[in-house]
Amino acid sequence: MLQLVLAAPRSGSGKTTAACALLAALQARGAQPCAFKAGPDYIDPMFHRAVLGVESHNLDLFFSTPATVCGLYARHAAGHGAAVVEGAMGYYDGLGGVSDTASVWHLADTLGLPVLLVVRPKGASLTLAAELRGLLAFRTPHHLAGILLNDCSENLYNLLAPMLEKETGLPVVGYLPPLPEAAIESRHLGLKIAAEIEDLQRKIRILADSAQKTIDWPRFTALFDRPDPAAVPCTLPPAKVRIAVARDAAFCFTYAETLEALEENGAELCFFSPLQDAALPTDIGGLYLPGGYPELYAVQLAANIAMRAAVKTAVQSGLPTVAECGGFLYLGQTLQDADGSAYPMAGVLPGQGVRGGRLVRFGYATLTARADSMLFAAGDALPVHEFHHWDSTANGTDFTAAKANGRSWACGFANAHLYAGFPHLYWAGTPLPCRFVAATCHYKKEKP
C-alpha cells in the first residue's frame, strides 16, 4: 500500500494543489486512495472529498493522543491502495510556531510514515539544497523520503533535480508545472469550499493529467510502498436517538470524526439546511449547529423566518444543542454580512455578530469549564481551536480559554442542555459524544 505524508518547508508551497493532483492521479491509476489532513483545517478535507468522492479525516496531535491518532489512521486507511496525509504550514511548525509538538513532523513520526516534501523553487536554486539539508538535520529521524517540485517548468526541473539529489541525497520524484487554468480561489478563511469553485472537476482533471505525466511513478511506488495498516474493527450500535445536524453552504465545518463518534454512541444523524428547510427534522432529541460561513448567507438565513423560529423554540424548550463558531453566531440576535449590514438570527443568545476585520483569537487553546453542564464537568479541560473573522458582542463567560503563551479569556455559554461558543470542539477520543447522546436520550425520555 502506498502511504505518505505530503509536507512542505512553509505555507504557500502548494500542498493542497499537489494533494489534489496526487490523489486524482492515484484514483485514475486504480489505487483507490484515501486522504487525511494534519491539523484542525476543515476546508482541505472538503477538497479531498471532492476529488475522491470518499471521506477525508483529520489527524491532530493537539486534539488527540497518539493512540487515538494512530487508531483513526489505521481504521480509515485500511482497505485502500494508497493513503495521502496532507500537512499544514511548515514541516516542523507546531504549537505557537515555536514547538514541533503537533507539527507535521510530529505526525509523521507518530505514524511512522515517509514524507514527500513539496518544494516551490521560486527565487532560489542551489540555496534550496541548503534549506533542505537544514530540514534533514533538524530532527532525528527526519522521515523525509523524496521531493516533488511544484509550480516548476520542465526546463527548471531538469536543471534542479540532479543538483538537489546530489546535494541532499533525497530523490526528486517529479514536478508539477505552472497550471494557471487549474488555480483554486481563496477568501477570508482560506480556500473556497469545493462546491463553490466553478468547474472544479475540470481543474482536477488538469492536475491529474499533469501528475500522470510528470511524476516518476515507478520511483514513487518504490519510495512509498509500505505494509497495510491493520484494520481496526468498529461496529455501530443500533441508533437510539435522532440528532439534527445543520449541513449546507452556511454550515459546512464538521469533523468527520465527530460525526462518526456520535454514531458510535448511538446517534442517528439527520441532516438539514437552515438556509432552505422550513422546519427541523422530526422526532429529534438533539441539535448540532457546526461552523461555516453564516456571515456570507446572512440575508438568506434571516429570510428563513420559519427555521429561525423553529430553532429558537426548540433550544428554549430545552432541546440539547451544540453550536460552534458559525452555529454560535446563528443563535445570536443579529449577524452582519460582509458589507456590515445586520440581519436577524435565531435570537436565542444575547450577542450580535459583527465583522472583526481580521482573524479573532486565532489558533489552538485549552478550554476549561467553570461549572457542570451538558458536555462538561466543572474543571474539565479540552483542547479546542478558533478560526474566525467575525466576533460577537457577547461571547459568554462559562469557560476560560487559554493559549500556550499564557493569554486567556472568558467565553462560551453552557447549561444542562446547551454548549455554544466560538471554540470548535473535536469530539473523537473524548467523553463529549457519550455525554451529548446521553443528554438527548434523557430529553426524549422526559419530554411530555
Give tens-digit pLDDT for 83-120: 999 999 999 999 988 999 999 999 999 999 999 999 99
Contact 375, 265 (CB under 8 A): no
Quick check: 156 pLDDT over 70? yes
Mean pLDDT of the chain: 94
pTM, full prediction: 0.93
Say which residue, 367 or 20, is predicted with more confidence.
367
pLDDT band at 45 (very low <50, low <70, confident <90, very high): confident
What pLDDT is recorded for position 233? Answer: 77
Name the nearest CA neighbour of 144 among 223, 212, 218: 223
Q: Over the stretch 375-416, which tens digit does the pLDDT of each residue have?
A: 999 999 999 999 989 999 999 999 999 998 889 999 999 999
Q: Over the stretch 236-288, which tens digit does the pLDDT of each residue have?
A: 999 999 999 999 999 999 999 999 999 999 999 999 999 999 999 999 999 99
Q: Over the stretch 408-417, which tens digit does the pLDDT of each residue have?
A: 999 999 999 9
Location of each CATH 3.40.50.300 domain in the chain: 2-224
pLDDT band at 448 (very low <50, low <70, confident <90, very high): low
Contact 58, 37 (CB under 8 A): yes
Query: What is the four-CA torsion angle of 381, 414, 365, 70, rounded to 10 degrees?
Result: 60
Residues ≥6 apart with Cβ < 8 Å to 260:
428
* Beta strands 352-355 and 390-392, pairing class: antiparallel
Q: Does domain 2-224 have CATH number 3.10.105.10?
A: no
pLDDT band at 294 (very low <50, low <70, confident <90, very high): very high
Q: Over the stretch 348-362, which tens digit does the pLDDT of each residue have?
A: 999 999 998 778 888
**Stretch 200-205: mean pLDDT:** 85
Domain 241-446: which CATH class? alpha beta
Quick check: 187 pLDDT over 50? no
What is the share, in percent, of the chain residues with pLDDT greater than 70?
96
What pLDDT is recorded for position 185? Answer: 61
Q: Over the stretch 307-349, which tens digit does the pLDDT of each residue have?
A: 999 999 999 999 999 999 999 999 999 999 999 999 999 999 9
Does residue 20 have an active-site annotation?
no
What pLDDT is recorded for position 241? Answer: 98
Residues ≥6 apart with Cβ < 8 Å to 77:
1, 3, 34, 36, 83, 228, 229
What is the DSSP secondary-structure string of 80-121? -SEEEEE--SSTT--GGGS--TTSHHHHHHHHT--EEEEE--
Give, to the nearest 10 degrees, the angle between helix 15-28 and helix 43-52. Answer: 20
Quick check: 434 pLDDT over 50? yes
| Exposure of 414 in the CB half-sphere (CA atoms within 13 A) | 26
**Stretch 165-173: mean pLDDT:** 98
What is the share, in percent, of the chain residues with pLDDT greater than 90?
83
Written as nine digits, the cell of 24 is 486524482
What pLDDT is recorded for position 199? Answer: 79
From the candidates 20, 252, 325, 411, give the one annotated as an active-site residue.
325
